Amino acid sequence: MNRPSARRYLTATTMGEAVFPLLVLTLLYFFDEFDTAAFNTLAPEIKKAFAINTNTFTGLVILNVSLVILLAIPLGYVADRVRRGPIVVICALLAGGFSFATGLAPTIALLTLFRVGNGIGVTANGTVHNSMLADYYTPGTRPRAFALHTNALYLGAIVGPLLAGTIGYLAGWRAAFFVLFIPVMVTTVFAARLQEPVRGGTDNPDAAITAPQQRVGFWQGCRDLMNVPTLKYQYIGTVFFGAGLIPLAVYLPLVLQNVFGVGVFWRGIIGGAQAGVTFIALQKGGKWTVGWFAKDMGEPVRKAAYFLAAVGVGLAVTSAAPWLWLYLVLSLITNALVGLLFSPYYSTLALVSPARVRTLSFSLGSVFLVVGVAVFYGVGLGRIANSSLRWGVISLAPWWIIAACFLYYSGKFVAGDTAKAFAALSAPEPINPA
C-alpha cells in the first residue's frame, strides 16, 4: 500500500478525525503483539531449550499471564488520575526492552522475569490505549477506531508467527526476539508527542470541559462500575471467559506439534493464516457495529455474544478433527468468528463506562479473567491436557458458551447505562473518593 492510499485509509477509518493518535497507538500495539505471537509460536522450542515438561511450562505461562492481567487494575486506576501519555511511553519502553532481553535469558527464572517485565509493558494496550481512543474519537467513529487498533493484535499475529517461525528455523528461537527493538524505540519517540485528550470530551464536549476534574477513589470507582448493570453481567461472564481463553495460549501450539507433528516453520505459516482471517473479520466487525448500534443500542453486544458462543463450539469441533487439513479449515472459521467479537464489545464498554473511570473499566475485567483461570485449574481441569491435548482444548468450550450467555443478557441494559454515563459528566457533584 503506498503512502497516499494508507493516508486515505486512515482518514476514512477516523471519518476525518485525527489520524496521528490512532496510528501511533496501533503501531505500538502491533510491535508488542509481534513479540507475544513469536513467543507462542516458539513455545515448543523454548520448552525444549530449558528442559522443562509441558505442565511446568504451562504453569509458568499461566503465572505470567495472571500476574500481568492483575497489574492492569492498578494501572487502570492510576491512568484515570494522571496524564495517560507518559504511561503509554513508559510501558512501550518496558515492553520493547524486555522483549529484547527474552532472547538473552540464560535460565528459566530470568526468562520468567523478562516475560513478566514485557507483560507489564503490554498491559497498557488494552487499558490505557482504549481509554485514550475513546476520548480521541466520537462514538460514531469508535467502532472503526477500535477495530483498527485491535487489528494490530492480529497483524502482529500474522507477521509474528511467520517471521518467528522463519527466524527460529534459520537462526534459533532467541534471534526472533531481537528484530523489533529499533522500530519499537522509534515509535515510542512519536508516542511522546501524543496530546492528552479531555476525559469524556468526545461524549459531551461542553460538560467534559466544565465538569470538575474528579479524582475517584479506587474502591469507589470499582463500586461505581459494578453498579452499571451492563458491566456487572459482563464481568461475571468474564470469569468463564478467562477459564476458556487463557490456557489456549499454551495448548494450541502444542496441539500442532504433538498431535499433528507440525514443525516450527509451518506453525508460523499456520499462525499467520489464522491471524489473517481474524484481521479481515475485525474490519468487517468494525463496519457492522455502526449499523448494529443504529438498530438498537444493545444489538452489538448481543451479536458479540453469538460470536463468542460460536467460538466455543468451533474450538471443540476443531480439536476433534482427525486430519490436519480439516483442523486447519475449521480453525480458520473459528478465528474469523473471534475477529467479529472485539469492535462491538469494546465500543459498548466505552459507551456505558463513566468517563472518569473509563480506564479502570477497561482493566477491571482482568481480575475476573484470573479468577476464571484459577477456577479452571483449581477444579483440576488443567490436568486433562497432560493426558490428551485434544480433550484439554475441548474442555474449554463450555466456558465460552456460558460467558456468551452473560454477555447476551447484558445487552438489555446498554441504552440506559449509556444515558447515565453521558449524564454523569454534567453532574454538579463530584464522585466521592473512597
Read off the pLDDT of residues 96-128 as tens digits, 9 standing for 90 and up: 888 889 888 888 888 888 888 888 888 888 788
137-150, pLDDT tens digit by residue? 888 888 888 888 87
pLDDT, average across residues 189-197: 89
Highest mean pLDDT of the ranges 36-45, 213-222, 263-272, 405-414: 405-414
340-364, pLDDT tens digit by residue? 888 888 889 888 988 778 878 877 8
Residue 403: pLDDT above 90?
Answer: yes
The fraction of the chain above a pLDDT of 70, given in percent, is: 89
Q: Residue 285's pLDDT is what?
A: 83
Q: Residue 47's pLDDT is what?
A: 79
Q: Residue 5's pLDDT is what?
A: 67
Q: Please, is 429 exposed, middle or buried when counting C-beta atoms within 10 Å of its C-beta (0-12, 13-18, 19+)?
A: exposed
The closest of 78, 85, 118 to 100, measured between CA atoms, is 118
pTM of the predicted model, to two decimals?
Answer: 0.68
Highest mean pLDDT of the ranges 135-149, 183-197, 294-308, 338-352: 294-308
Residue 162: pLDDT above 60?
Answer: yes
Least confident window among 8-17, 104-113, 185-194, 340-349? 8-17
Query: Mean of the per-residue pLDDT values for the chain?
Result: 81
Residue 338: pLDDT above 80?
Answer: yes
Specify the fold of 18-424: Growth Hormone; Chain: A; (1.20.1250)
pLDDT band at 430 (very low <50, low <70, confident <90, very high): very low
d(CA 230, CA 302) in angstroms, rounded, equals 12
d(CA 248, CA 271) in angstroms, rounded, equals 13
pLDDT band at 413 (very low <50, low <70, confident <90, very high): very high
Please answer whether residues 143 and 133 qualify as being in contact, where contact means their C-beta atoms are separated by less than 8 angstroms: no
Residue with the three cell numbers 464481568: 235
pLDDT, average across residues 222-234: 91
Residue 408: pLDDT above 90?
Answer: yes
